[in-house]
Amino acid sequence: MAQYCINKKRIRKLNIPKQYDIKQIQLGIPVVGDEARRVGLNNVGDIVLPSWSLGTTCKKNVYGYSYADKTKPKERRYVSTGWGYPYGNTSASMVAFDIYKKCYPKIEVEAYGIELCLYENVDNQQFVIVDMTDEIREKYMKEAINLMLEIYGKCYVYDGVIRIEKTIKRKRCNWEMLPPGEMPSKHIEKQVESMNQNIKAYDIARLNFIEKYNATMVVEGINGFNGYYAYLYEKCCVLESAFYGNATYIIPKDNWEKLSQKTKKELIDEKQLIAKINHTEKWEKDIESMLKKMGVQKENL
């Protein structure tokens, strides 16, 4: 059994020693302090998508990223939502308004979707390890190592030290119930007030609009899903982000938690999406039409 430690800020090229079997190695770090709690792992078998707020690689891991395609002409595109007084009337309440600019088209790169797991061996030694799926071994080994380096400053490569049994029960920890009767918009306002943050960083107006409909349950995204809320209805689940620039995703209610943890590309490729509604000037009209088709009623009806 062998192991070695990568101890640097990031790697530019994957360079696994030849004596290590890339089909068997595990990436991780031993738990000697708060390594597990730092990413939201509390119990052996827990799996989390690390929070996007831990760094650039973590953000790409959760949301993917995009870059400008300068070979094509610019197009008018929604870029953010601002807040201001209607018609300059400072006596009125501030309202949200969409901001558009001429921009080059985006080339979208899918999220890596790398998850971490809390593992314990027969000697009761715990490790935070990468959940090494076939896709990660084939496509995202370098990104997985850089994810660990970003979070912990080091990453161990284990060969034979860690053996994952398929029978081990695993629990994903990416969603949690909101307090009874509390809607996301009010929940955010309370959090912002307690942490002295700027409410303008959040897209409260869109959350307020969705909250006009009767959701049977609302849950809050945590860890990698921080900023997302899931509104559950009889036939569908609406995933809406509290941050600007993210589309609204509507998925089937059945198995919603498993579906919500897939990447956007997976949802599209596997034809699991009921609808994707971009944050444009037509957003309210589009989501109202879609929810009506799904039989979702507003509270005041």
- Across the range 218-233, mean pLDDT stands at 83
Compute how many other C-beta atoms are within 10 angstroms of the C-beta atom of residue 262: 17
pLDDT of residue 192: 60
Q: Which residues pair with 103 in a beta bridge?
A: 75
Provide DSSP, 80-126: EEEEE-GGG-TTSPPEEEEEEEEEPPEEEE------EEEEE-TT--E
- Across the range 40-49, mean pLDDT stands at 89
Query: Measured in Å, how far apart are the chain's first and last C-alpha atoms?
Result: 66
Tokens coding 126: 């715990």
φ and ψ of 234, to 5 deg? -60, -40
pLDDT in tens, 200-214: 555 677 888 898 898
- Across the range 38-63, mean pLDDT stands at 89
Tokens coding 18: 């030849």
pLDDT of residue 129: 94
- Across the range 76-97, mean pLDDT stands at 79
* CA–CA gap between residue 72 and residue 271 (Å, rounded): 29
- Amino acid in the structure at residue 218: V
- Across the range 12-38, mean pLDDT stands at 90
- Across the range 12-40, mean pLDDT stands at 90
The domain ranges of the chain are 2-62+112-172, 65-109, 175-293
What percent of the chain clears pLDDT 90, i.e. is strictly above it?
31
Strands 46-48 and 171-172: parallel
Distances (CA, A) of 99 to 62, 81, 87: 25, 6, 16
* CA–CA gap between residue 62 and residue 56 (Å, rounded): 10
Least confident segment among 9-13, 100-104, 107-111, 124-128: 107-111
Q: Are 275 and 260 in contact (CB under 8 A)?
A: no
Tell me, what DSSP letter sits at residue 247? P
pLDDT in tens, 20-29: 888 889 999 9
Banded pLDDT at 216 (limits 50, 70, 90):
confident
Q: Are 276 and 297 in contact (CB under 8 A)?
A: no
pLDDT of residue 100 exceeding 50, the answer is yes
pLDDT of residue 199: 53
pLDDT of residue 130: 94
pLDDT in tens, 108-151: 888 888 999 999 888 889 999 999 888 899 999 999 999 999 99
Least confident segment among 81-85, 208-212, 290-294: 81-85
Banded pLDDT at 7 (limits 50, 70, 90):
very high
Highest mean pLDDT among 7-16, 140-149, 188-197: 140-149
pLDDT in tens, 162-174: 777 654 556 777 7
pLDDT of residue 277 exceeding 80, the answer is yes
> Taking the alpha carbons of 191, 53, 110, 158 in that order, is the dihedral positive or negative?
negative
Banded pLDDT at 79 (limits 50, 70, 90):
confident
Tokens coding 73: 């002409």
**Element spanning 291, H or E:** helix 283-293
Closest CA to 76 of 40, 100, 60: 100
